[in-house]
Amino acid sequence: MERITLHTEKRDKAGKGVARSLRREGVIPAVLYRGGGSVPIKINGKELSGFMHSTGGEQVMVNLEFSDGEKRLALMKEYQVDPVKGDLLHTDFFEVSLTEEIKVTVHVTTAGEPIGVKRDGGLLQHGTREIEIQCLPDRIPGHIEVDVSGLETGKSVHVSDLVLGEGIEVLTDPGELIATVTAPIVEEKVEEAAVAAPEAAEPEVIKKGKKEEEEGEKA
């Protein structure tokens, strides 16, 4: 599993006022959790944003390197973004050990165009976009890619069909749907019969046309 180094420092003060001051200085407040405890930290905003942009939401191991030389291995757990401006506000990291299994959520993506779509005009529909797994930190996949190119109309891929690496246990319900190809929608064509309007109705139609013209002139 890929690892990226982030330089960090411990922070003594906490609170909304302190967090706002840090962000004005280009620093993002964060918390490192481990075994029921937590350590408030701060990370350079540009460095952290670059990390998040490069990983694109994938699970990536982080080497948190402190200014005093201390190093800790962690995974990003959560992050908060300003709903209006989109600015990064806060992040949470979870410290891990290479000898201890952990539970994590991993994104599931699909690759390829199903034969049921390409040949039969079916529709590819997605189910769950992420699954929970348990394994050692260095075995965590950045994401799980499912090849759906061989999927025919009416066929599906479920969590039970996933084949992951050795030592990775899937905790999500095996029956959860990942992707399926449904039959194409057939639109029934109804031929409209031309019906001649009776002579008695003709003046009414003309009158309606005149009314529409008058309304158009007023507009």
pLDDT band at 2 (very low <50, low <70, confident <90, very high): low
pTM recorded for the entire structure? 0.74
Express each pLDDT in 22-65 by its tens digit. Answer: 999 999 999 999 988 999 999 999 999 999 988 877 888 999 99
Give the integer Cα–Cα distance in Å for 162 and 146.
Answer: 8
Q: Which residues pair with 37 in a beta bridge?
A: 34
Enumerate domains of the chain plus CATH numbers: 3-95 (2.40.240.10), 102-182 (2.170.120.20)
What pLDDT score was predicted for residue 188?
Answer: 54
Percent of the chain past pLDDT 70, that is, above it, reads 84
Express each pLDDT in 137-161 by its tens digit. Answer: 999 998 999 999 999 999 999 999 9
Give the integer Cα–Cα distance in Å for 152 and 58.
Answer: 29
Express each pLDDT in 165-206 by its tens digit. Answer: 899 999 999 999 999 999 987 665 544 544 555 554 444 444
